């Protein structure tokens, strides 16, 4: 009886161990699948953006060039034509081509704007930063307007430039988080503070503040245990349907 009891305990322990192992493996597998899906989505998105860039380039180089040449040729013909009726007709054609050229130019700019991948741009900045190590976390999934993209890129560049110029930091952390209502940009380092520098107005901070305020954002700066920049934006102010242009 004692042997059977011990055998039962061992079997139960083995079962529980295997069950826990399977649960852990299942959790790990789900996590890996989610990571794979995220990577695949990012690769598809990047390929789409690259294709948009290529199309914009071809439209600009080919169609734009042809329209410009046609407009110039019509202008030259109008200068040498004496018949007023012909001139009027040519003027109509020229105006139509001008309108088409403007429309194409706007479309090309729109394609180029949407083809800017914020994550990839920031990743390139982070990868090229050699002053100290960087911990980079990017969790933004929403589509934001081009003005916001440029602002965030400039803010990160300026913050890293300040680290090089004014800090003895060995670690910088850049976090971009998305919440239901807001987007956050948090940048901080572990360097010591130089009391001879005015952090609230110097070090390019004023430029960062202006970029944040132009998007109706909020910025807070802390100099406790390193230099920290906390920025938050209302997501409604950054989407492509807002006045964020």
Domain with CATH 3.30.565.10 in the chain: 118-237
- pLDDT at residue 80, rounded to an integer: 87
Q: What are the φ and ψ backbone dihedral angles of 117, each rounded to 5 degrees?
A: -95, 105
Q: Calculate the alpha carbon distances from 47 to 109, 112, 150, 154 in Å.
A: 19, 14, 21, 24
What number does CATH give the domain 118-237? 3.30.565.10
Interstrand relation of 133-138 and 171-178 (parallel, antiparallel or unpaired): parallel
Average pLDDT score, the chain? 81
pLDDT in tens, 133-163: 999 999 998 888 888 998 999 999 999 998 8
- pLDDT at residue 155, rounded to an integer: 94
Adjacent-strand bridge partners of 177: 184
Tokens for 113, please give them: 């704007």
**pLDDT over 70 percentage in the chain:** 74
pLDDT in tens, 222-233: 888 888 999 999
Q: What is the DSSP string of the chain?
A: -HHHHHHHHHHHHHHHHHHHHHHHHHHHHHHHHHHHHHHHHHHHHHHHHHHHHHHHHHIIIIIHHHHHHHHHHHHHHHHH---HHHHHHHHHHHHHHHHHHHHHHHHHHHHHHHT--HHHHHHHHHHT--SSEEEEEE---S---HHHHHHHHHHHHHHHHHHHHH---SEEEEEEEE-SSEEEEEEEE-PPP-TTS-TTTTTTHHHHHHHHHHTT-EEEEE-TTS-EEEEEEEGGGTSTTSS--
b/e map of 84-96 (b: 16 or more CB within 10 Å)?
eeeeeebeeebee
Contacts of 71 (CB under 8 A, 6+ apart): 94, 97, 98, 101
* pLDDT at 180 exceeding the cut of 90: yes
- pLDDT at residue 1, rounded to an integer: 58
Q: Which carries the bigger pLDDT value, residue 90 or residue 10?
A: 90
pLDDT in tens, 14-73: 767 777 777 777 787 777 766 666 565 556 555 666 666 677 677 767 777 888 888 888
Tokens for 84, please give them: 């007023």
Per-residue pLDDT, averaged over 100-121, amounts to: 75
CA–chain centroid gap for 146, Å, is 9
C-beta neighbour count of 153 within 10 angstroms: 17
> How far apart (Å, rounded) are the C-alpha atoms in residues 140 and 130?
25
- pLDDT at residue 159, rounded to an integer: 92
pLDDT band at 76 (very low <50, low <70, confident <90, very high): confident
């Amino acid at each position: 009886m004692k042997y059977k009891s011990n055998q039962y305990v061992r079997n139960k322990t083995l079962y529980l161990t295997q069950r826990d192992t399977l649960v852990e493996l299942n959790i790990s597998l789900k996590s890996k699948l989610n990571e794979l899906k995220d990577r695949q989505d990012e690769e598809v998105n990047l390929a789409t953006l690259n294709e948009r860039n290529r199309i914009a380039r071809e439209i600009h180089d080919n169609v734009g060039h042809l329209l410009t040449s046609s407009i110039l040729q019509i202008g030259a013909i109008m200068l040498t034509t004496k018949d007023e009726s012909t001139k009027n007709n040519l003027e109509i054609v020229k105006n139509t081509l001008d309108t088409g050229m403007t429309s194409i130019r706007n479309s090309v700019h729109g394609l180029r704007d949407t083809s800017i991948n914020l994550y990839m741009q920031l990743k390139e900045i982070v990868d090229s930063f050699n002053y100290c190590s960087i911990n980079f976390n990017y969790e933004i999934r929403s589509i934001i307007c081009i003005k916001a993209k440029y602002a965030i890129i400039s803010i990160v560049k300026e913050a890293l430039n300040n680290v090089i110029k004014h800090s003895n930091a060995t670690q910088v952390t850049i976090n971009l988080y998305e919440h239901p209502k807001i987007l956050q940009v948090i940048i901080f380092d572990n360097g010591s503070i130089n009391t001879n520098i005015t952090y609230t107005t110097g070090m390019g901070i004023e430029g960062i503040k202006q970029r944040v305020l132009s998007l109706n954002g909020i910025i807070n700066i802390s100099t406790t245990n390193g230099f920290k920049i906390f920025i938050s934006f209302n997501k409604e102010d950054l989407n492509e349907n807002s006045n964020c242009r």
